[in-house]
Chain A
């Protein structure tokens, strides 16, 4: 990175550089019922925010919607009163039960369309839709509101253009004059009109990112035509492209400095590589440059998910592995099981190829989807059976009978969440969203708000926490209760009720002799597969117009559901104590995986991810000594390649030793810059709370090879 970018990044790390927002308050509560008045409120807000051009920046604008009382971008939910009310009633801090709580809703814009057609095209489509719906005044007002809000984006850009010209007129330096004139000409053109150069495209993306500061989507695809043509013609050097990208990424980093006490980075993701609609692999020279740009920066956003396909070359995997060693922001995801899974879930193949990873390890179809999220306690269905239906559970004569009871309990839990979702959805639907809806193709076509069934794809993603805890617990029950008959089920439950007190020998025996997930042992891995199948089989029972698309997975977001839900859950047969956190996603456990890395990766890859194609995280923690030579680095890359070929869905690696993490806990002042991967985000280890630090430390460490 050059000096300018380095300074910019250091400033960003030091804190917020956004100007103080100028608030806009709702004049009359009835404004919220009228899309046009909402749009006017938004316009007012957009035009009131300071115009801020700094002499050292190549792309401009900087504001947030957080002081806007009118419903603005749906992702940040500013002004979305009903959504916020419904969400708060069952969020991580206030979940009324120990079964689930609502997660975040993420959405990514269709940047490709914005660049190639401009907002102009969106406005044309709105006008077409207005003709279509001319007899429906309500829909017409919504469309009118959409149009006003898109035009307001242009109005704001034009203010920048004027300001640029003004600064150009004032300065005596020719360089500065050129600089401001360039900014002015870009802001006069984009995002209303198609971007014609790489630089204009970056400005356009940034302007629109501020409207919806979430995933940047398939950035290596939508920027590639500009990059390819201009580097070929010699009008764009790789250095300059890198600099522009890095400026964009540093700015993206800055957008989230304000809103979370957690030093996390999941909110800004992007993807590179992956299948294109014609079935070819989209990985290109710009994909590599983008990862390079991010790996070079000291900031911990955005996150990159590299989309693997069966066409990915070993060289690419090695290249990424090397970058990943110095930058934990890069992870592997696998298109091979995911795209067929999305298709099974009702997404067209062409749209499925257009997915981006978003937030932590969630995904979205750019410009086409709204997926809500439930963080679910998978262990609940088991402990509920063991503790609250003890007599019934103990009546099982065989393991299969016991599993059928568990499956029934699980099914009931899933369906109850689906029922709750309907109420959640209805509440959200009361919010009228004009700004996000204007940028979602189907909202325009149907003249429906984003929150009210507008998007082509909408529904819920079910994320199950504690998959390996349940698989391991079932394995213990199967082995010790039903096969070896060392323990009666009611004895085991009694021990769990007492949180293993005075039963140390039973617990030790289980920890030592049970067969646990992560060791490439079909005995227990097949139980994990059974759970996934049982979950998937409930899908047909949860069809509802609001729940058009349902996906299943296991991942962890910023609210740490594995820890949060673990705290509410009693002791489990796998040796877990009362209140202890669950294993994160489909991952290594806390020391139970002891057969080597290939065995762990095999276990993880055995699940059918076309059924479990929702949000997935798989962690691996390795001592950096395992990659201390080129040869070892190559082996590790090959190991990941084999994992992906086997159908593993996601993989993220921390190259750090447990000893070093302990040292960092003891001497945080010496480890201020120690960046680690948590789940769909990374951040500075010493800034995490103790629970989260311990979660990372307890992950099995792979040391020898």
Chain B
């Protein structure tokens, strides 16, 4: 399906990603490389095999099982050979491997979001789409937002804003809240620490403020004078 996305985590019962009790959908793939990123496994736009060295008992079952010879004694996968088939994850007895990222349709994501409807209703919560950069999957996002609104679920988008402005206009009718995360105002520092220029981010932010009023929530209140 053309509107699927790679989702690397869906976290239920979140209290901190917007109003009320929320389910947070983490979409894989990001166009920034912030040095402080706390989930760098979200950068690549495809599934990855994660390896937790501290849990590994070095039984070598994964090395034996890998059909593509992507694993050797170092136990870190050779990304060129690895096909992300997940066999090493299945055979691992100690949970030292995890397949990070699964292709999901908007409907299958909605099914999980709907499970906590009772909790949103009581708390004014809903679904938050985060990442990576969820706005890099506009078709997926648009569809899943539309489905959420069909079920009267509050929606929030957590974005760093480095995407074409049209994307914002497209999702706007189905979005209740933008959690707009401006990393840094200084263009040079921004570039240095995130790998991207912040011109587009700031421009988008100003446009949103003008056109999409009453929705934006900026992660840092110091920037509200923008």
Residues of chain A touching chain B, judged by Cβ–Cβ distance below 8 Å, are 314, 504-505, 508-509, 512-513, 520, 595-599, 602, 626, 631-632, 634-636, 638-639, 641-642, 645-646, 705
Q: Cβ of A641: which chain B residues have Cβ within 8 Å of it?
A: 122
Digit string of B1-22 for contact with A (CB within 8 Å is 1, else 0)? 0000000000111111000110
Q: How long is the Cα–Cα vector from A602 to B12 in the complex, in angstroms? A: 12
User: Which of B20, B90, B93, B118 is the one whose CB lies under 8 Å from A645?
Assistant: B118
Q: Cβ of B13: which chain A residues have Cβ within 8 Å of it?
A: 596-599, 639, 705
Interface centre among B11, B16, B119, B123 (most CB of A within 10 A): B119
For residue B197, CB closer than 8 A to chain A, the reply is no
Q: List 30 A-B contacts (CB under 8 A).
A: A508-B93, A508-B94, A512-B95, A513-B90, A520-B115, A596-B11, A596-B12, A597-B13, A598-B13, A598-B116, A599-B12, A626-B15, A631-B15, A632-B15, A632-B16, A634-B123, A635-B15, A635-B20, A638-B20, A638-B119, A639-B13, A639-B21, A639-B119, A639-B122, A641-B122, A642-B121, A642-B122, A645-B118, A646-B118, A705-B13
Q: Cβ of A595: which chain B residues have Cβ within 8 Å of it?
A: 12
Q: How long is the Cα–Cα vector from A635 to B19 in the complex, in angstroms? A: 9
Interface residues contributed by chain B, number (CB under 8 Å): 20
Q: How long is the Cα–Cα vector from A512 to B99 in the complex, in angstroms? A: 14
Q: Cβ of A314: which chain B residues have Cβ within 8 Å of it?
A: 122
Q: Cβ of A509: which chain B residues have Cβ within 8 Å of it?
A: 93
Q: A512-B95, A635-B20 are in contact. Are A642 and B118 (CB under 8 A)?
A: yes
Q: How long is the Cα–Cα vector from A56 to B8 in the complex, in angstroms? A: 65
Q: Cβ of B21: which chain A residues have Cβ within 8 Å of it?
A: 598, 635, 638-639, 642
Question: What residue of chain B has the Cβ atom nearest to residue A512's Cβ?
Answer: B95
Q: Cβ of A505: which chain B residues have Cβ within 8 Å of it?
A: 93
What 8 A-B pairs are tightest by C-beta distance, nearest first?
A638-B123, A596-B12, A705-B15, A598-B13, A635-B15, A596-B13, A642-B122, A508-B93
Q: Cβ of B11: which chain A residues have Cβ within 8 Å of it?
A: 596
Q: Cβ of B15: which chain A residues have Cβ within 8 Å of it?
A: 626, 631-632, 635-636, 705
Q: How long is the Cα–Cα vector from A314 to B125 in the complex, in angstroms? A: 15
Q: How long is the Cα–Cα vector from A606 to B79 in the complex, in angstroms? A: 44
Q: How long is the Cα–Cα vector from A599 to B116 in the complex, in angstroms? A: 8
Whether B115 contacts A705 by the Cβ 8 Å rule is: no
Q: Cβ of A705: which chain B residues have Cβ within 8 Å of it?
A: 13-16
Q: Cβ of B119: which chain A residues have Cβ within 8 Å of it?
A: 598, 638-639, 642
| 8 other A-B residue contacts (CB within 8 Å) besides A602-B115, A642-B122, A646-B118 | A512-B93, A520-B115, A632-B16, A635-B123, A638-B123, A641-B122, A642-B118, A642-B119
Q: Cβ of A645: which chain B residues have Cβ within 8 Å of it?
A: 118, 122
Q: Cβ of A634: which chain B residues have Cβ within 8 Å of it?
A: 123
Residues 108 to 147 of chain B near chain A (Cβ within 8 Å):
115-116, 118-119, 121-123, 125
Shortest CB distance A588–B (Å): 13
Interface centre among B15, B21, B93 (most CB of A within 10 A): B15
Q: How long is the Cα–Cα vector from A476 to B122 in the complex, in angstroms? A: 34
Q: How long is the Cα–Cα vector from A602 to B119 in the complex, in angstroms? A: 10
Q: How long is the Cα–Cα vector from A520 to B23 in the complex, in angstroms? A: 14
Whether A638 contacts B115 by the Cβ 8 Å rule is: no
Interface centre among A509, A512, A626, A632 (most CB of B within 10 A): A512
Shortest CB distance A207–B (Å): 43
Q: Cβ of B94: which chain A residues have Cβ within 8 Å of it?
A: 508
Question: What residue of chain B has the Cβ atom nearest to residue A627's Cβ?
Answer: B15
